[in-house]
Amino acid sequence: MNQLFINSLRILTMAIFLALVPILFYYDFGTSLVWTILIPLLPVALLIIGFSRWRDICPLAMISKISQKMNFIQKRKVPKWFENNFWAFQYGFLFIALCLRLTTLNYHNDLLGTFFILVVLGAFFINLFYTGKSWCNFFCPVGAVEKIYTISNSKNYMLDSACSTCTACKKNCPDIDLESNYWKEGALKQKSFVFYSFPGMILGFYLYFYLQSGSLSYYFIGKWTQEDFSLLSSGFFFAQQIPVFIAVPLSLSIFTLISYYFFKAIENYLWGKRVFKDASFETTSHKIKTISSFVAFNIFYIFAGAPAYQHFPLIYAIFYFAVVSISSTILYKEFFREEAYFIQERFALKIIKRWDSSKVIPSSLKEIYYTYVNDSKNKKERLSTYRESIIDLMQEGILTEGSFKILDKLRKQIGITNTEHDSILRLIKLKNEHLFDSSTDHSAETLHQEKSYKQVVENALSEHIELDAKYLKNLQNEFNISDDVHKNIMHSILNSNVKITEDIISLLKNIENLIDLENSIYEDATREIFFLKYSIKNEFVFHSKALFTLLFTIYKDNTKVLKVILNMSKGKHVPENFVFNEETISFMEPEISEMMITIYKKFKKEQLHADQNDNTNLIKKLLNHDSLQISTAALLNTKHNPTEFLNDNILEKFSNTDDIEIQSLLYKLKNNTNRITTYERMVYLNYIPIFKNLKFDNLHKLGQSSKVMKFKKNEYIITQGNLGSTLFVLVKGAAVVEIDGQNVAEVGHRDYFGEIALLGDTKRTASVKVTEDTVALRITKKQFKKFLQNNPKVSTQVMKEIIKKLI
C-alpha cells in the first residue's frame, strides 16, 4: 500500500468524519446514517487494512497529531497508575460510550453531533498536555476494540505507525510492534477481562433493544432511530418503572460479567485438563482470546448494519459472507499461534539481516533455519550470529531471561549445543550486565525513542546547527529523554560516529591554522592589512562557533568549563582562579584535549610578527586560501602592485566565483579603473571604530548601501547649522573642520564625521571644507535605518560605539 494510497485514504476518512457534524445537525436521518451504515463498516475495514495502517488514517488520530506537535505547553506522560490500568480505563470509556448511545445518542442528532465535537476536542487536548499518542493508547474508546479485533496482528512486523518523535509514552507500544505488545501484555488480568467480556458487552448492547421494547424487530426495522427517548423513559418492557439511565448500564454489566466468567471457565477447564499438550498457560489463554474475539466480531455483524443493509439482500449476503470468511481466516491464523513462533520469527529476521544478498530468502521459517545451517559451515560465525541476535532481542525487550526456555528448539534448529548456549549467555552477562538488570527498562519503545533522539542530534551536529542548552532541554522534553540517557547518547555519538570526532578535530586544526596565520602578519598600518586581519578573525569566530556547538552538545555536563573557555576565545574576562590545563578538560577525549591545550598555548603566546617583506609572500599564499573571505581580503592587498600577484591560476580562481562583487574587484585590478568596489568600501568602513566589529556579511551589506561622493577643493561637505542626516568616511584627500568660520581641526583620508546625524535629527555643529580634491563614502540616515532594521542584532553594537565617541 503505497504512500499515495495512504494519503488518499486519510483525505477520504477525514472528509467523511468532518462531514458528519453538519449532517447530524441538519439532516433528520443523521443518526441512522451513522449507526446503521458507517459504523458497521469500521471493524471489517480495520481487519482488511490492518491495525498500523488504520492508526495512520484514523481521523481522530490525525487530529490528535496536530496537538502532539505543539510544544508550547510542557508535555508529560500519563500518571503511572493510569498507565498500569489503561485496559480498565479504556474499556470503561467504551462502556460509557455504549451506555450514552443507548440512552441518548441513538435518538438525538444534535446530541450525537455534540458528542462527536467533544470527542474531537478530547483527542486534541489530551495530546496537547500528554506526550506521544496518549489519546490513542489510553483514552480513545475505540482503542480497546482495535486491539481485540486485530489480536496479535501476526507476521505484520514490517508495519508500524510509530511517532517520528518517539517519547516512549507507553510501555509495550502497539504502534511500534503490535505483536510484541500483544505477547508482553498476555498475562495481564485486565486484558483477559476485556477480551473475555467483550462478546457479552456486544450481545448485551443489541439485546437491550429487545429488553426495552419486547421485540427484536424493533431493532431490525430501524424504528429506534426515529424514537424520542429521555433518560427517564422506561428501561425494560417487563419492568417499566426502571428508567433507561439505570436499565442500560445494568444490562450491559450483567452480559459483560456473564461473558467473562463463561470464557474464563473455558480457559480454566482447558488449562486444568491440559487439553493443548505442551502448551503454556499464556498459549492456552491466547487461544481463548482468539475465540472470544471471533465470537464478538460475528455477534456484532449479526446485528450491525442490518436495519439499513437488509433492504439490499444480495449486497447484504455478500457482505456477511465476506465478514464470516475474513473472521474465520483470522481465527485459523491466530488460534495456532504461540509466543515461541513469534520469537523464532524475530530471530529469523536477525539471521536474514546477515543473509547473502545473492541468494533467495525462503518464505518458510523452517527453510530459513535449514538453509542458514547448510550454507553457513563456519560454526564460529553461527555462534556469533546467535549471540548478537540474543542481545538485539533482549535490547528490544522481546526476549527476557525468563523466556530463554523458548530458545531450546530454535538453537537445535541452527545447531547450537546446550553447552555453547550456556557459554554464550555467560559471555553476554559479562559484557552486557544492564540487559539482566530488572530495574532497567528494555523495550522496543525506549530503543526507538533513544534512536530517534540520537538521529535528530546527529543531524543537527552534522549540519553545525547551534545546539545551546535551552534548545537541547526542549529537545529532551520533546522526546522525554532524561539527562542520564542524554549523556549516554552523547557518549555513544562521540565514540561510534567517527565523523563527529573528525569534525571537531578538523575545526580545531582550522582554528590553529588561523591563529598561526594571524601571528605571521606584519602590521604595516594599511587599511588593507587591517581588513585581512579582520577577515581572519571572522573566520576564527565562524569555526569557533561551530566547534563550541559540538562541544556544548557532547559535553553537556561540563557547560560551566566550556563557557569559560568560550569567553577566553572571545577575549572576555574569565575568573582569576581558572587554570586551563589537562585536568580542567579531562572530560574530553585525549585527542581533542591535546589539541585544545596546543591551541591555548598559541593563543596566549605573545605574537612575534614577521618583517614587512614577509607580507608579500604571505599574500601570495593567501590568494589560494580555502576561505573565499580570506583570499578576497588578500586580493585587496594586491591593488598597489597587481601584476606581481595576479598569475593565471589566481585570475581563473576569482573569475570562476559566483560573487559579482569579487569579479568587479578583479576587473578593476586588471584594468586599473577608478571605480570603488563594494569590497574596497568594506575596507574603508571596517577601519573606522563604529563598524570594526561588524560580522563580514553585515559589513558587506553596509558597503553595498554606501555611496561614493567626490568633492572639489574648497567645496563644503557639510555646513554648520544645517540639519544633519549623513555620515561621511574619507577615502582619499583632506579637509578642515570650521566652527563659526574658524579652522579648529584637520581631517585626513582615514577619518569620518557626521555619525551623530545617524542617531536623530540634529543640526550640524561644524562645517567641513575640503582642502584638496577628495573622495568620501556617504551613508544616509535612511540607508542606515534600513540596514539596522534588516540586521537588528547590529543596532546595539553600533550605537555603543557611537556613544563611546560622544563620551
Residue with the larger pLDDT of the pair 166 and 238: 238
Tell me which residue has cell 537445535. 412
Q: CA of 446: how far to CAs of 164, 395, 453, in Å?
A: 13, 9, 10
What mean pLDDT is predicted for residues 377-406? Answer: 78
- Closest alpha carbon to 447 in 385, 489, 388, 477: 489
Contact indicator for 551, 562 with CB cutoff of 8 Å: yes
- Dump pLDDT digits (tens) for 457-500: 777 766 656 566 667 777 777 777 877 777 777 767 666 556 67
Average pLDDT over residues 717-740: 88
The arithmetic mean of pLDDT across residues 183-210, rounded, is 92
Assign 3-class secondary structure to 482-516: CHHHHHHHHHHHHHHCHHHHHHHHHHHHHHHHHHH
How confident is the model over 590-639, as pLDDT tens digits?
Answer: 888 888 888 888 776 655 555 656 788 888 888 888 888 999 998 888 88
pLDDT higher than threshold 70 for residue 155: no
Cell of 663: 569579479
Contacts of 361 (CB under 8 A, 6+ apart): 352, 355, 368
Q: What's the length of the chain?
A: 807
Distance in angstroms (rounded) separating the CA atoms of residues 101 and 25: 17
CA separation for the pair 96, 142 (Å, rounded): 12
Q: Estimate the crossing angle of helix 109-129 against helix 3-26, to 10 degrees.
A: 130
532 is written with which cell numbers? 585581512
Question: What's the angle, vertex CA 338, arms to CA 337 and CA 343, rounded to 5?
Answer: 115
DSSP for residue 135: I
pLDDT of residue 34: 84
Q: Are 738 and 720 in contact (CB under 8 A)?
A: yes
**Distance separating alpha carbons of residues 523 and 534, to the nearest angstrom:** 12
To which H or E segment does residue 441 belong? Answer: none
CATH topology of domain 680-806: Jelly Rolls (2.60.120)
Measured in degrees and rounded to the nearest 5, phi and psi for residue 736 equal -120, 150
CA distances from 523 to 514, 530, 571, 645 (A): 16, 8, 20, 20
pLDDT tens digit sequence for 86-126 = 999 999 999 999 999 999 888 888 888 888 899 999 999 99
- Give the whole-number percent of the chain exceeding pLDDT 90: 17
Q: Distance (Å, rounded) from C-alpha 791 to C-alpha 754?
A: 21
CA distance 156 to 149: 15
pLDDT tens across 638-660, in order? Answer: 887 877 887 888 888 888 888 88
Q: Tell me: the pLDDT tens digits for 753-787?
A: 877 777 666 788 889 999 999 999 998 888 777 77
Residue 712 is predicted with a pLDDT of 92
* Of 324, 313, 334, 40, the residue nearest 202 (C-alpha): 40
Where residue 376 falls among pLDDT bands split at 50, 70, 90? low
Do the Cβ atoms of 285 and 298 come closer than 8 Å?
no
Concatenating the DSSP letter of every residue in 411-472 gives HHHTT--HHHHHHHHHHHHHH-GGGG-TTS---HHHHHHHHHHHHHHHHHHHTT----HHHH
Domain with CATH 2.60.120.10 in the chain: 680-806
Q: For residue 684, count CB atoms less than 10 angstroms from its CB and return exposed for 0-12, middle for 13-18, buried for 19 or more.
A: buried
For 444-453, what is the mean pLDDT?
77
Q: Is the pTM of this model over 0.85?
A: no
Neighbours of 487 (CB within 10 A): 14
165's grid cell: 518523535
Nearest CA to 343 out of 267, 398, 287 is that of 398
Say if CB 477 and CB 75 are below 8 A apart: yes
Task: Report the candidate in 181, 141, 138 with the shortest Cα–Cα distance to residue 157.
Answer: 181
Cell numbers linked to 462: 552534522
